[in-house]
Structure 1
Amino acid sequence: MRSLSLLHQSCIFVFLLILAAPLPSGATSLPRAASSQSHSSRSLFKRLLDVPFSWASRRSRTSLNGWLDTHPKLLESFQRYDDQVVIRFNVSTNAHEAALRKAIDQMLLDVWDFTDNYTDIRIETRRIRPLMGILPHTLQDNHYILIPDLARAVAATYPSRAPAREIVQPHSNNRGITPTNDIPLPERQGVNDIFFNDYQPLSVIHTWMKLLDSMFRGRGLVRMISIGQSAEGRDIPALRVGVPTDSAGTGRPGERKNTILITGGIHAREWISPTTVNYVAWSFIRSIDEDPMIAKILRNFDIVFIPVLNPDGYEYTWEVDRLWRKSRQRTKMAYCPGFDLDHAFSYQWDATQHQTEPCSESYGGDQPFQAVEAAELAEWARNETEHGVKFVGYLDLHSYSQQVLYPYAYSCAARPPNMENLQEVAMNLAKHMRLSNGEIYTTTSACEGAVANDVSADNIRVEASGGSAIDYIFHEFGARYSYQIKLRDTGSYGFLLPSEYIIPTGEELYQAMKYFGDYLLGNNGHESFSIPTVIEDQSEQIDIAADEEADVTELRRRRRKRGV
């Protein structure tokens, strides 16, 4: 196989920028001589660079004012966010979680995140006093403002000339939030990183996927497919990446390979999710000729990357409301559209446990698969299995909180039959992400919350249970290793992670995926292990690895004792 050269990479990014937007004034087309001299890579490269590259770079870093000029509806949402903050409540008891759940349902509050230690809520400042009035005194005295200027933080996530860190500084009080000054920033490497220097709107993401398909379909390495359409009629594209099993390498034979599925963008406002799916896809494609482990994984598995499962909602975050979470499908209340896709699947869907208020951020519908996008994914996956595909792994990317969550999400009382294996792989996924950049990812069951270990308290969790994607793919299609991974950060920015963290976050997931593929090959991930270059304190690195290896060893010991 021919190596993926810098020229090849450069062509992709330059074409991406050209096709994704109109040409600047004075530039009507590509140089006409380019096509006639395509046999000369040096000549082609020179002609591609004749396109004003400084303009192309500026396009991906356009001023915020320029963006607002063409998207006036965003101004309305910014004005609304002027009166909003994000509050973190320290939650440690069943009574705390029950009180918060009642207040959230009563006031239709937007839950940003919840773990076994805290719950983050977005709220208007004028509603803070009424909220405190219905909470117990212990919670009133056990909270703090996480993001004090929400409008400013929202504005900073759109493409801008100034780095996001210069535009907005997070509230930091050393209460378990990752200090952002300690996070290493990626080095800019010119054209090679243009796509990942910023978050990209839906049209650019689709153009990017089409270019990868056109560049690598000839080798049989990449194929762009569609898993269906959204409620508003948008396509839901995916990239199927894998080495053809026929010797000629010109196409795929009738027999399908085992498949790993990766989805992003279930929740529209979690922009780091789609871009990370794209980053991992690109990293696997460009590394196949350089990394024997990647080549081995792609010879044995197909990986299907679905960057944006919720295209309607994602588009809405770029055009109207940056913090929109759900889909945009009409509900029984015309003024409250949208379904929470992660509460819309059928496995253990329980009407008595589901949110019934369409205006709620966690409303998944009045019956399973009422959300079009969830139904399309399920139908596509079922069709794949009927044609010989076996799903062996599933990763559903979200933000934030830096967690690796395993089934079941619907109840802590139920235990998957391969619980020990799920825990072992989860810890190793977290370990490889940690060794990439030093960021800590924790692991736990997806039935998370303050009462995660109390099987009698499922009814008072902060969010309704049942209907999750990881439970459905795990149970219905036999993907024995199914995980929801919540990416960066731990609260300093929440859903508004600045663009300079795109590449470090992508690298973390890429390293985790290398381990995951190696493990599924039966190697327990040993071949995928590599010494990271970011952590300078090697003794600290060894201690981290040793501690986590001890945890894995203990899991294996317990499993042998049980005769598993």
Structure 2
Amino acid sequence: MKVRLRYSTLALVLSFVAIGDASLNDELPEDKFVVLRASPTTMEHLEIIRELHDNMHEYDLDFWLTPHSIDHKADIMVRETGLSWLTNVLTNNSIPFLVTIPDVKQLILDREHKPLAPSSSFAKRLNDEGGNKARYGLGEYHSYNHIVSWMEDIQRNYPDKAMVITIGMTEEGRPIKGIKIGTGVYRTDKRVFWIDGGIHAREWAAVHTVAYVIDRLIADYDTDPLVRQAVDQLNFYIFPVLNPDGYEYSRSGVSPMIRLWRKNRSSMICKKDQWFRERCCGGVDLNRNFDWFWGEIGSSSDRCSEIYQGKSPFSESESRAVRDVMMSPELRGKVDAFLTLHTYSQMWIHPFSHQRKTVPEDISDIEQVGRKAIGALESVYGTKYRFGTGADILYPSSGGSDDWAKGKGGVKYVYLMELRPSEEVWDGFILDSRQLIPTGRETWAGIKVVIEAVLKLRRARIGTTRPAPPPPPPPPPPPTTTTIFTTTTSTTTTTTTPITTRAPVSTSPFFRRRQFRPSQVRPRVVVSAEARAAAIERYREQQARLDAMRQRIRTDSARNRQRGDVRSSSRRTSSTSTERPTVSNDTGGPRTCADRSPWCSAWMQRSARVCVISSIFMRRDCARTCRFC
């Protein structure tokens, strides 16, 4: 393990030098991107891949899929210029890998920008849209404006059951729109079922699947007794695209850097990267921006990271919009189900994801409904899903909307669904459009199980409470087609859901209506002594590995300074001597040892490896600071 890591570190250093040299050329052609699949078979392999994942923004990598245990895959997108470095790291550490997508841009063009054959999907779309007067074009990817126009068309055709709602505005000025579905749509006394998708911009299949659910609730009302009962007795709040800015940006070009954008589009910031190139970064991972153990694990404080958590909880307009409508008088205390759809890897995830072996007290109810939903989903096409917390079957992460909805929103049934494809399929986020309708059908089958559970919960609640007086008649329709939720304060009124370890799980009433009260303290987390000891041991091991790695880097840097950088010296045209390099001026003659740049000390403080990573640049401008003379 130690030997392989040392060689891996040296390979990292030498490769960064090569990348740094190439970055000085401002006229490079458009980058080509490759996806590589690595398969860790030992804990050492897993630790190395996690190190790459935790620092992917520094290594210029994009992890599509992160392995959570041995024998699970890591799908990594890398620029072709950095492919040799990545393969060297994996080869030197004996990690099996293969290239699955040799040209990501070409796959995007083939999958998403070639017209479909006239007969390939029309019959399927017609079949699935039967019964809905507002036609959408299922089986295809559509723009945000098209989706909004379709929801407005539903409202026009079904004014008693559907109403388009706006819950906020994005950084770029787009309204965050969804649709409320329920008989007597202006009633606010019914229990609530929440569904959203598109919180991550590149997950187009999740957006389509949410649209499919909207279509089923409208189209099946007259033919499916469960749908009729649900629409009559519940209010559905459905948001196909919670991240409109990011979604539209991901549709604006075929470059992988655009199509595979993950975050929102909040303000950009520019800074120098490791190779002193100007790098502009922006956006926040909205699913790390909710106030549930925010910023503690599985996220980053670096704005350039794909999992940047934001400046503070609810720093983004999109996450604030979700919070404000969930805590509004119309929804507060009434939401019985919260489903958020993502892609990919075929997982049905329940809270909590911020720490392993940590679940809500009503886990037995959540597991029973979740596993039944997976069974219904699998019965359609045989698609296999895994079930558990995100921390246990994926990796720990905090700040997610699902955990917040359970822990502070008091929602009974909360699930995050990672849709098709599975981990074994290599195309990841660029799902073939021919799989969109099958994905929608099987997901709808699982969602209907959760709908049944919410209706059962409603019946149980009515049976244990006194009959309520009949609701007042609905108010007249507003003058516009949109209802806007507003709040008078940014303070979140929250409740907390007790959480505990899997064993034992303390018993509690099947349902107890929670009163939402302000809470300034973090909800208490009860974990077993075994879990606490394991966490402490993992922390100590991680610190030991980091200390060892830092020592190896210092040793390698000192060794390289003593013997000179062979690769960098071979590229110099001003000296062919095999002895210790002599610092020369621009005319070739010797000069005194001095720094040309006033920023050398600052660069050294920022990164102790800068003299090795960018040796050509630093040899020229920071010879004294780097001790090249």
TM-score when normalising by structure 1: 0.67
Q: Shift of residue 115 of structure 1?
A: 4.5
Q: Shift of residue 440 of structure 1?
A: 1.4
- Structure 2 gap ranges (5+): 1-28, 272-279, 459-501, 509-629
1:389–1:240 Cα change, 3 Å: farther
Paired residue for 1:238, among 166, 178, 192? 178
Q: Shift of residue 323 of structure 1?
A: 1.2
| Distance of 2:505 and 2:80 partners within structure 1 | 55
| Distance of 1:441 and 1:212 partners within structure 2 | 32
| Distance of 1:314 and 1:342 partners within structure 2 | 15
Q: Does 2:190 correspond to 1:257?
A: yes
The 8 Å contact of residues 159 and 199 in structure 1, kept in 2 or not, is answered as no
Comparing 373-382 and 151-160, the one that deviates more: 151-160
The 8 Å contact of residues 340 and 362 in structure 1, kept in 2 or not, is answered as yes
Q: Residue 608 of structure 2 aligns with which residue? A: none
Q: Does 2:410 correspond to 1:478?
A: yes
Equivalent position amino acid for 1:496 in 2: I
Q: Shift of residue 446 of structure 1?
A: 1.0
1:305–1:108 Cα change, 3 Å: same
Paired residue for 2:325, among 370, 380, 405? 380
| Distance of 2:148 and 2:420 partners within structure 1 | 24
Q: Shift of residue 352 of structure 1?
A: 6.9
| Distance of 2:419 and 2:239 partners within structure 1 | 16
Q: Shift of residue 96 of structure 1?
A: 3.2
Please state whether the residue corresponding to 1:365 is helix, strand or coil: coil
1:188–1:243 Cα change, 3 Å: closer
Q: Residue 97 of structure 1 aligns with which residue? A: 46
* Higher helix proportion: 1
| Distance of 1:356 and 1:135 partners within structure 2 | 27
| Distance of 2:227 and 2:435 partners within structure 1 | 24
Q: Shift of residue 379 of structure 1?
A: 1.4
Q: Residue 323 of structure 1 aligns with which residue? A: 260
Give a deviation string over 1:183-230, Cα, whole Å, max 9, x none.
x9973538867611310011111111110111111xx21111111111
Please state whether the residue corresponding to 2:434 is helix, strand or coil: helix
Q: Does 2:378 correspond to 1:434?
A: yes
The 8 Å contact of residues 268 and 281 in structure 2, kept in 1 or not, is answered as yes
| Distance of 2:95 and 2:296 partners within structure 1 | 35
Compare CA radii of gyration and give the structure with the larger one: 2
Please state whether the residue corresponding to 1:495 is helix, strand or coil: coil
The 8 Å contact of residues 346 and 369 in structure 1, kept in 2 or not, is answered as yes
Q: Shift of residue 289 of structure 1?
A: 1.1
Q: Shift of residue 260 of structure 1?
A: 1.1
Q: Does 2:258 correspond to 1:306?
A: no
Q: Residue 622 of structure 2 aligns with which residue? A: none
Equivalent position amino acid for 1:375 in 2: R
| Distance of 1:80 and 1:478 partners within structure 2 | 49
Q: Residue 201 of structure 2 aligns with which residue? A: 268
- Structure 1 gap ranges (5+): 1-78, 167-183, 245-250, 453-460, 525-557
Structural mapping, 1:441-460, within 5 Å: 441-448=385-392
| Distance of 2:91 and 2:301 partners within structure 1 | 25
Q: Residue 421 of structure 1 aligns with which residue? A: 365
Q: Shift of residue 341 of structure 1?
A: 0.7
| Distance of 2:342 and 2:208 partners within structure 1 | 11
1:361–1:518 Cα change, 3 Å: same
Give a deviation string over 1:78-112, Cα, whole Å, max 9, x none.
x856x212122223555433322322304142111
Paired residue for 1:153, among 107, 111, 127? 107
Give a deviation string over 1:541-561, Cα, whole Å, max 9, x none.
xxxxxxxxxxxxxxxxx9999
Equivalent position amino acid for 2:141 in 1: Y
1:307–1:134 Cα change, 3 Å: same
1:271–1:186 Cα change, 3 Å: farther
Equivalent position amino acid for 1:252 in 2: Y
1:368–1:148 Cα change, 3 Å: same
Q: Residue 345 of structure 1 aligns with which residue? A: 290
Q: Does 2:431 correspond to 1:497?
A: yes
Q: Residue 130 of structure 1 aligns with which residue? A: 85
The 8 Å contact of residues 45 and 95 in structure 2, kept in 1 or not, is answered as no
Q: Residue 567 of structure 2 aligns with which residue? A: none
Equivalent position amino acid for 2:82 in 1: R
The 8 Å contact of residues 364 and 371 in structure 1, kept in 2 or not, is answered as no
Q: Residue 10 of structure 1 aligns with which residue? A: none
Structural mapping, 1:133-282, within 5 Å: 133-135=88-90, 137-138=92-93, 140-162=94-116, 187=124, 189=126, 195-217=137-159, 220-244=160-184, 252-253=186-187, 255-282=188-215
Q: Does 2:314 correspond to 1:365?
A: no
TM-score when normalising by structure 2: 0.61
The 8 Å contact of residues 90 and 97 in structure 2, kept in 1 or not, is answered as no
The percentage of counterpart residues that share the same residue type is: 27
Q: Residue 65 of structure 2 aligns with which residue? A: 113
Please state whether the residue corresponding to 2:348 is helix, strand or coil: strand
Give a deviation string over 1:390-417, Cα, whole Å, max 9, x none.
1111111011111111111111142211
Q: Shift of residue 314 of structure 1?
A: 0.5
Equivalent position amino acid for 1:161 in 2: P
The 8 Å contact of residues 347 and 466 in structure 1, kept in 2 or not, is answered as yes
1:372–1:95 Cα change, 3 Å: farther
Q: Shift of residue 300 of structure 1?
A: 2.1
1:508–1:120 Cα change, 3 Å: same
Q: Identify which of structures 1 and 2 has the higher relative contact order when contacts are C-alpha pairs closer than 8 Å and 6+ apart.
A: 1
Equivalent position amino acid for 1:101 in 2: R
Please state whether the residue corresponding to 1:187 is helix, strand or coil: helix
The 8 Å contact of residues 297 and 397 in structure 2, kept in 1 or not, is answered as no
Q: Residue 514 of structure 1 aligns with which residue? A: 448
Provide the alpha-carbon RMSD of the alignment.
3.1
Please state whether the residue corresponding to 1:361 is helix, strand or coil: coil
Q: Does 2:333 correspond to 1:400?
A: no
Give a deviation string over 1:337-370, Cα, whole Å, max 9, x none.
1111111111111357631221111112132112
Q: Shift of residue 137 of structure 1?
A: 4.4
1:162–1:215 Cα change, 3 Å: closer
Equivalent position amino acid for 2:436 in 1: I
Comparing 487-496 and 193-202, the one that deviates more: 193-202
1:333–1:308 Cα change, 3 Å: same
1:119–1:203 Cα change, 3 Å: same
Comparing 282-291 and 125-134, the one that deviates more: 125-134
| Distance of 2:234 and 2:439 partners within structure 1 | 24
1:203–1:144 Cα change, 3 Å: same
Comparing 127-136 and 401-410, the one that deviates more: 127-136
1:88–1:436 Cα change, 3 Å: same
Please state whether the residue corresponding to 2:358 is helix, strand or coil: coil
Please state whether the residue corresponding to 2:201 is helix, strand or coil: coil
